Amino acid sequence: MNKTIIVSNRLPLQIERNDNEIKVKPSVGGLATGMKSVHKDSNGIWIGWSGLTDEELNPEIEKKVNSAISEEQCVAVGLTQEDVDLYYYGFSNRTLWPLFHYFIEYTEFDQKSWESYERVNQKFAKVVLEQAKDGDKIWIHDYQLLLLPALVKAEKPNLSIGFFNHIPFPSYEIFRTFPKRKEILEGILGADLIGFHTYDYERHFLSSVKRILNLDVSFNKITHDHRIIKVDSFPMGIDYEKFKSAALKHNTQKPDEKTEIQKRLDQHLEYSSDVKMILSIDRLDYTKGIPNRIRAFEYFLKKYPEFQEKIRLIMLAVPSRSQVPQYQKLKRETDELVGRINGEFSTVSWTPIWYFFRTMPFENLIDLYTSSDVALITPVRDGMNLVAKEYVATRTNEDGVLVLSEMAGASKEMNEALLINPFNFEEIADTIKQALEMPKAEQKSRMQTLQKRVSRYSVEKWASEFMNSLKQVHNISNFIEAEKISDNHIQDFQKIIQSQDSKLMFLDYDGTLVNFTKKPEDAKPDAALFELLDRLDAQPNLDIVIISGRDNETLGTWFADKNYTLISDHGVAIRNENKEWQILERLNTDWMENVLPVLETFVDRTPGTLVEKKKYSLAWHYRNADIELAQKRVVEINTVLTSFISNTDLTLLKGNKVIEIKSSKVNKGRACSHVLNQKEYDHIFALGDDWTDEFMFEELPKKSHTIKVGLKKTKAKYYLNKTDAVRIFLTSLLE
Ligand code: GDG
């Protein structure tokens, strides 16, 4: 039975070690809950670091740890202390974390930690490959493992791999500054499905893929390395029922069942009827906007002094990554700010900020959520922010107001919250006031809508939607009906090519025999290509036809002393063995003087594009342009030219990063028919990568061996992954 393997930096469990005794406790975090059905139901396993370094383990303890965690269906990846320092605290948290959260000034790049990041990703890959069997699904999580998808895919292409990024993906302008940008993108692209919390992150990622790797992106699908990769957004939810039922239970507590914290909170709330509490909970991280929040609260107290002695900010800051200097600095800054404000505003019976720097047990978290009138969540960047959703889930009386930063991924789904810009103190202060004064009816209507949405998109739903999508994506490769050329096909074709039967082979040039280059004139045939074509041409009764969109002068010059048949300009002219060009279609080219100025305006407005004037057609090339701008221009050019050419016999052809205008009387299909009318052949082969080649595939007799180059929809019978595979294929026919 196929299984699912979940991979994350840490395993979802806590290991307690007492001398030589080991106790394993499963974690109860959101991710662990969401993945429960994926993990346990499908006999799946979870791969990750146990939390104990190699140095902390001896063979005996390691055996115990491994056996204890295997009972939880987990497998450990061993990390040394150096790995943890360089890969985790180093590259993950001092490089990727700040960069992806737009803190460029905090982003340190250091070769040693990059090498450690590579090494640890390889360690993970090794364990994954030991555990995975063909047909299994792998779900890799988060920014610590960005290289893992490609490492696994390279070894086992038949595994279906999903990757989910829990943090934002930054805009291209930020991401492009990063020295290892290519490696990171290529690492992620080993996955078949790539998930983000929001559409914005998805679009940023696609934009980087287009601009940095120059790959074809169509809507949310990327063609890369002969695969189609899907990118989508899956907003992560919470274990709604867990928070809701905990809150319901909490609300019926008897006085003696209450926690110490709850008793203190009650004392404050009972002080007077207009006393209110504002809650803030986060890991102490510079992305969470904690100093800004405190300063905005200070500003609020100054701007609206009537709230002094009535409002209290309860701030839970959970210790995090305290080895990293920026976190130490943030801790000092937070302590100082809280101290200053409490010093400035406190009275005998009131301190404005209650500050906790620690982790709290779940029941205390529920105390805080249920007792607070307002949740003030103001990250400067946050992938999603689950605290916002948890607050909503615990408000079982349908009251309370969520003030949420528009920079948190959660804001995309939580429109009924009061959304603020975390850098605008004026707005935050005014919004705090609005939240504190919001009528109950409005609180209720906002909260009801929020609850409906947050309860529907729970963490279980998130996980199951991702897994369903992963199942479908793996079938995407089936959308190409053509058959991939296999060793068996090659053996059959070899026999034909080397037989005495009469054979004809049509070969498109650009994108088929040679790769595309920045300038069309750079894609001249090289010595190896000549040698290959000559060897093919020397096969018994095999006629070679180079059929291209290039003009006859270019082809005539390149292949001046060769005997192959040449067809130029998509089928306008043909050169046979006598080396004379013969016009197949008489064409009027008067239209060019009208269309050329139109195309030139597009060249002026789109840097990196150029117009190629051919004898019978005009081509607008956009291979070197900014791809997003070029795509907009393609739509424009289509609109403009379609009206221009209506009622003419002109047609618009979309090629590979080129748009060509030419007479519809000419196409490669008609030119192929012309060749076939001259002589009968036992076998016909045709290879091409472009739209223009589709005419050829369509027109040729059914029994022909038509071969598409690249993963695109086609009328051809077979396909080869990419241009580089063509020469290998042709060479193999001669062996
Ligand atoms: C990353 C992304 C994304 C907090 N304090 C205590 C405690 N918590 C729990 C909360 C919540 C979780 O920790 C925090 O989750 P967030 O989503 O708010 O933030 P990150 O830790 O930064 O998570 C984030 C997330 O991944 C998921 O993809 O949303 O954007 O940065 O569940 O309840 N739990 C307990 N005691 C505490 O003191 N028990």
Taking only the tens place, the pLDDT of each residue in 356-366 is 999 999 999 99
Nearest residue to 116 via CA among 92, 96, 140? 92
Question: Within a domain: residue 469?
Answer: no
Nearest residue to 298 via CA among 337, 356, 354, 332? 337
CA–CA gap between residue 434 and residue 443 (Å, rounded): 11
Beta strand 418-420 with 401-405: parallel, antiparallel or unpaired? Answer: parallel
Question: Which pLDDT score, from 0 to 100, does residue 225 have?
Answer: 76
Lowest mean pLDDT among 40-49, 141-150, 381-390, 548-557: 40-49
Judge whether 724 and 225 are in contact, CB under 8 Å.
no
Is 487 assigned a catalytic role?
no
- Report which residue type is found at 617: S
For ligand 1, atom 3, which residue shows the shortest CA distance? 384
CA–CA gap between residue 291 and residue 615 (Å, rounded): 67
User: What is the distance in A from the centroid of ligand 1 to the CA of 233?
Assistant: 19
> What percentage of the chain carries pLDDT values higher than 90?
74
Segment 37-59 shows an average pLDDT of 87
CA–CA gap between residue 338 and residue 312 (Å, rounded): 12
- Report which ligand 1 atom has the smallest distance to the Cα of 410: 29
CA–CA gap between residue 170 and residue 177 (Å, rounded): 11
User: What is the distance in A from the centroid of ligand 1 to the CA of 372?
Assistant: 18
**Which residues does 357 contact at the CB level (< 8 Å), separation at least 6?**
284, 317, 319, 331, 334, 335
- The CB of 311 under 6 Å from ligand 1? The reply is no
Nearest residue to 89 via CA among 290, 254, 311, 322? 322
Question: Within a domain: residue 327?
Answer: yes
Question: Which pLDDT score, from 0 to 100, does residue 622 have?
Answer: 92
- The CB of 413 under 6 Å from ligand 1? The reply is no
Judge whether 440 and 399 are in contact, CB under 8 Å.
yes
Residue of 10, 93, 357, 384 with the most ligand 1 atoms within 8 Å of its CB, for mutation: 384
pLDDT band at 721 (very low <50, low <70, confident <90, very high): confident
- In this structure, are 348 and 399 located in the same domain? yes
What total of structural domains would you count in the chain? 4
CA–CA gap between residue 374 and residue 369 (Å, rounded): 9
Q: Enter the DSSP assignment of 162.
A: E
* Angle formed at CA 98 by CA 431 and CA 379, multiple of 5 degrees: 10
pTM of the model: 0.79
Q: Which of 612, 631, 663 is the last residue before a domain boundary? A: 663
**Which tens digits make up the pLDDT trace of 287-330?**
999 999 999 999 999 999 999 999 999 999 999 998 889 999 99
User: What is the distance in A from the centroid of ligand 1 to the CA of 452?
Assistant: 21
Question: Which pLDDT score, from 0 to 100, does residue 261 have?
Answer: 92
CA–CA gap between residue 526 and residue 394 (Å, rounded): 69
- The CB of 696 under 6 Å from ligand 1? The reply is no
User: What is the distance in A from the centroid of ligand 1 to the CA of 459?
Assistant: 13
Judge whether 469 and 232 are in contact, CB under 8 Å.
yes
- Tokens 């008897």 -> residue: 254
Catalytic, out of 508, 510, 543, 689: 508
The β-bridge partners of 37 are none
- The CB of 382 under 6 Å from ligand 1? The reply is yes
Q: Which of 648, 663, 678 is the last residue before a domain boundary? A: 663
Residue of 101, 144, 315, 385 with the most ligand 1 atoms within 8 Å of its CB, for mutation: 385
- In this structure, are 410 and 495 located in the same domain? no
Helix axis angle, 627-645 relative to 199-213, nearest 10°? 90
For ligand 1, atom 33, which residue shows the shortest CA distance? 387
CA–CA gap between residue 337 and residue 355 (Å, rounded): 11
Lowest mean pLDDT among 103-107, 505-509, 662-666: 662-666
Judge whether 388 and 402 are in contact, CB under 8 Å.
yes
- The CB of 384 under 6 Å from ligand 1? The reply is yes
How many CB atoms sit inside 10 A of residue 151's CB?
19
Nearest residue to 99 via CA among 90, 108, 110, 89? 108
Q: Which of 438, 456, 474 is the last residue before a domain boundary? A: 456
CA–CA gap between residue 323 and residue 329 (Å, rounded): 11
For ligand 1, atom 19, which residue shows the shortest CA distance? 385
Radius of gyration of the chain (CA): 32
- In this structure, are 110 and 24 located in the same domain? yes
Nearest residue to 72 via CA among 112, 32, 102, 107? 32
Q: C-alpha 726: how far from its chain's center?
A: 30
- CATH code, domain with 618: 3.30.70.1020
Residue of 145, 164, 386, 407 with the most ligand 1 atoms within 8 Å of its CB, for mutation: 386
Question: Residue 29: which domain range?
Answer: 4-233
- Report which ligand 1 atom has the smallest distance to the Cα of 30: 32
User: What is the distance in A from the centroid of ligand 1 to the CA of 433?
Assistant: 26
pLDDT band at 478 (very low <50, low <70, confident <90, very high): very low
User: What is the distance in A from the centroid of ligand 1 to the CA of 578?
Assistant: 76
Q: Which residues of 360-382 are buried (b: 16+ CB within 10 A; e: fewer)?
A: beeebbbbbbbbbbbbbbbbbbb
Question: Within a domain: residue 467?
Answer: no
pLDDT band at 480 (very low <50, low <70, confident <90, very high): low
Question: Which pLDDT score, from 0 to 100, does residue 123 have?
Answer: 98
- The CB of 236 under 6 Å from ligand 1? The reply is yes
Question: Within a domain: residue 93?
Answer: yes
Q: Is 406 exposed, middle or buried (0-12, 13-18, 19+ CB in 10 A)?
A: middle
Question: Within a domain: residue 446?
Answer: yes
How many CB atoms sit inside 10 A of residue 196's CB?
26
Q: Is the pLDDT of residue 273 over 80?
A: no
- In this structure, are 401 and 334 located in the same domain? yes
- Report which ligand 1 atom has the smallest distance to the Cα of 238: 32
Residue of 92, 283, 316 with the most ligand 1 atoms within 8 Å of its CB, for mutation: 283
- Report which ligand 1 atom has the smallest distance to the Cα of 379: 30
Question: Which pLDDT score, from 0 to 100, does residue 28 have?
Answer: 67
- In this structure, are 67 and 42 located in the same domain? yes
Lowest mean pLDDT among 256-270, 356-370, 443-457: 256-270
- The CB of 390 under 6 Å from ligand 1? The reply is yes
- In this structure, are 545 and 681 located in the same domain? yes
> What percentage of the chain carries pLDDT values higher than 70?
98
- In this structure, are 367 and 273 located in the same domain? yes
Question: Within a domain: residue 472?
Answer: no
- Report which ligand 1 atom has the smallest distance to the Cα of 361: 39
Helices (H) and strands (E) in the chain, counts: 27, 30
Beta strand 650-655 with 658-663: parallel, antiparallel or unpaired? Answer: antiparallel
User: What is the distance in A from the centroid of ligand 1 to the CA of 362?
Assistant: 12
Question: Which pLDDT score, from 0 to 100, does residue 227 have?
Answer: 83
Question: Within a domain: residue 465?
Answer: no
Q: How many Cα atoms within 13 Å fall on the side-chain side of residue 339?
A: 6
Nearest residue to 141 via CA among 162, 160, 120, 127? 162
- In this structure, are 655 and 546 located in the same domain? no
SS3 236: coil
- CATH code, domain with 165: 3.40.50.2000
The β-bridge partners of 620 are 611, 659
- In this structure, are 537 and 600 located in the same domain? no
- Per-residue tokens: 132: 């995975």
- In this structure, are 282 and 381 located in the same domain? yes
- In this structure, are 187 and 255 located in the same domain? no
- CATH code, domain with 534: 3.40.50.1000
Nearest residue to 429 via CA among 370, 380, 389, 376? 376
**Which tens digits make up the pLDDT trace of 107-162?**
999 999 999 999 999 999 999 999 999 889 999 999 999 999 999 999 998 899 99
- The CB of 283 under 6 Å from ligand 1? The reply is yes
- In this structure, are 444 and 571 located in the same domain? no
Question: Within a domain: residue 277?
Answer: yes
